[in-house]
Amino acid sequence: MKRIGFVRHGVTEWNRARKWQGHSDIPLDPEGIAEAEKAAARLAGEGWEIIYASPLKRALKTAEIIKEANPGLRLVEDTRLVEVYGGQLEGTTEEERVKKWGSEWRSLLPTLGMEPDEDMVARGIELLEEIRKRPEENVLLVTHGGFIRRLLQAIVPDLQQTDRILNTSVTVVEMHDEENLCTLYNCTKHLSDA
């Protein structure tokens, strides 16, 4: 059995503005750094062996902060963990999308250049299959909300998901041969615990 911990990056200025980030390389803001530090403290001592991270600044910085608090963890950047590409949607708010393309803008996703869900899921599954063959049993993936949500739909199809994966939330999936089990979902207790 592999235990996979999914961690979303800390908050960014674009998160606050509710802008679609996608592949846009937006850094953590000061609160995002503080969130990552709290997540790092929470994850210390939980037996994680390796971190795979998206190379986008917001995820990579979150992973680096986690690594600093967890000596001995190896950090591996992997482009397959980048957020879903948003095409023309990147940098826009919901209001701007409605103004530009109308209230049914979601029906236009293929023509606006958004990465198809199946392509994003395929790259995530490919990485998980490689991880299954590695010796580490407890693996952290530091990545993005849209990526995590879509990949969870594929690997734990019965999981009841919320609309948003929260910044620095931790989700844990036990990967078994016959069925995957989500043992922790979208948990941010580290942001409220003293």
Q: Which of 35, 83, 90, 115 is catalytic?
A: 83
Give yes or no: 137 in active site.
Answer: no
3-state secondary structure the chain: CEEEEEEECCCEHHHHHCCCCCCCCCCECHHHHHHHHHHHHHHCCCCCCEEEECCCHHHHHHHHHHHHHCCCCEEEECHHHCCCCCHHHCCCCHHHHHHHHCCCHHHHHHHHCCCCHHHHHHHHHHHHHHHHCCCCCEEEEEECHHHHHHHHHHHCCCCCCCCCCCCCCEEEEEECCCCEEEEEEEECHHHHCC
- Determine if residue 14 is labeled as part of a ligand binding site: yes
- Determine if residue 12 is labeled as part of a ligand binding site: yes
- Determine if residue 186 is labeled as part of a ligand binding site: no
- Determine if residue 15 is labeled as part of a ligand binding site: yes
Give yes or no: 9 in active site.
Answer: yes
- Determine if residue 80 is labeled as part of a ligand binding site: no
Q: Answer for the pair 151, 175: CB distance below 8 angstroms, yes or no.
A: no
- Determine if residue 172 is labeled as part of a ligand binding site: no
Return d(Cα 185, Cα 6) in angstroms, integer.
9
- Determine if residue 58 is labeled as part of a ligand binding site: yes
Return d(Cα 190, Cα 184) in angstroms, integer.
13
| Binding residue numbers for substrate | 8-15, 58
| Binding residue numbers | 8-15, 58
* Active-site amino acid positions: 9, 83
